[in-house]
Amino acid sequence: MPRSPCLLWLLAVTFSLVPRTQPLVAGDLEGDEQDETPLPAVPCDYDHCRHLQVPCQELQRAGPAACLCPSLSSALQPPHPPRLGEVRVEAETGRAEVHWCAPSSPVHQYWLLLWEGSGAPQKGPSFNSTVRRAELKGLKPGGAYVVCVVAANDAGESRAPGPQAEGLDGAEGPNLGPCGRLTVPPRPLTLLHAAVGVGSALALLSCSALVWHFCLRQRWGCPRRGRPSHAGL
C-alpha cells in the first residue's frame, strides 16, 4: 500500500510526457491530395494563321502550367511550304494585302515572291516568324500576277513553284499551297474614261455620217416628184 501513491505519481508523469494526437480533419486530407494531383495538360493558345502570333515555346513558359505545342518538323530540315490564305486587292491604290498560315516547321523569317508574266520574280522584304500578313504595292490596274509566300530557317527555305504551280485558281476548293493567282481589276476612273471615249467616238461617227449625207444631197440633189395632173380642168 505505501507504494501506491508513488506508482500513481509515476503514471501521471508518464502520460503527461506523451504527445497528444491531433484529430484528423477531412479538409486537410483533401487539400493534400489536390496539391499532389498534377494538372491535365491542355493545348497552347497557338494559331498557325494568327497575325503576330507569339511563339509556342514562349506561351509554355508564360502559363501557370506547361501546355502542349503543335508538333514541328526537325530544325535541321528546311521548313514546309506555308499555306497562302486570303488576298485582298485594292484597285484604286494598286495594293494587295496577302495573308498566310505558318507551316508545322521551325521558321525564322518569311518573304513574298511576285511574278508578272513569265519573267523573274520580285522578292519582297523579310518578316520575322510572328508575321502572317504583308502588303504588295505598285500593282498595275488590269494586271495578272502570281504571288508565293516563302518560309526559311537555318537549314534552308521552303519550295515556291511560282506560275508552274497547280490549282492556283482554287477551282477544286481552297488553296492549300504557298502560291496563288492575283488579278487586279481596272480602276473605276479608267472605266469611266473608257466609257466617255467610246461615247465620244460613237457621237463623232454619227455626226460624220449626217454631214456626209447632207453634203451628198446638196451636191447631187434629190429626185423631185412631179406635180399631179388635174384632169377635166
CA-closest candidate to residue 79, choices 52, 44, 107, 51: 107
CATH number of the domain enclosing 122 = 2.60.40.10
Q: Give a three-class secondary structure readout of 96-142.
A: EEEEEECCCCCCCEEEEEEECCCCCCEECCCEECCCCEEEECCCCCC
- Give pLDDT, residue 79: 97
Q: Cβ(118)–Cβ(163) under 8 Å?
A: yes
In a domain, 150, yes or no: yes
In a domain, 232, yes or no: no
In a domain, 129, yes or no: yes
In a domain, 138, yes or no: yes
Q: Cβ(105)–Cβ(151) under 8 Å?
A: yes
Domain range for 94 is 83-184
| pTM summary value | 0.66
**Residue 26 phi, psi (nearest 5):** -65, -35
In a domain, 74, yes or no: no
- Give pLDDT, residue 119: 86
CA-closest candidate to residue 179, choices 108, 82, 97: 82
Q: How many domains would you assign to the chain?
A: 1
Per-residue pLDDT of the chain (233 residues; tens, 9 = 90+): 455 666 666 666 565 655 555 554 555 545 555 555 666 779 999 999 999 999 999 998 887 888 999 999 999 999 999 999 999 999 889 999 999 999 999 999 999 999 998 889 999 999 999 999 999 999 999 999 999 999 999 999 999 999 988 777 644 445 689 999 999 998 765 445 555 666 666 767 777 777 676 676 666 655 544 555 454 44
In a domain, 1, yes or no: no
- Give pLDDT, residue 118: 81
Q: 3-state DSSP call for residue 143?
A: coil
In a domain, 228, yes or no: no
- Give pLDDT, residue 172: 44
Distance CA 53, CA 76 (A): 23
- Give pLDDT, residue 192: 53
The three-point CA angle 195-196-202 to 5° equals 90
In a domain, 121, yes or no: yes
Q: What share of the chain is helix, strand, coil (3-state, %, to 5)?
A: 30, 20, 50
- Give pLDDT, residue 189: 53
Question: Quick one: how far is CA 177 from the chain centroid?
Answer: 13
Distance CA 22, CA 41 (A): 37
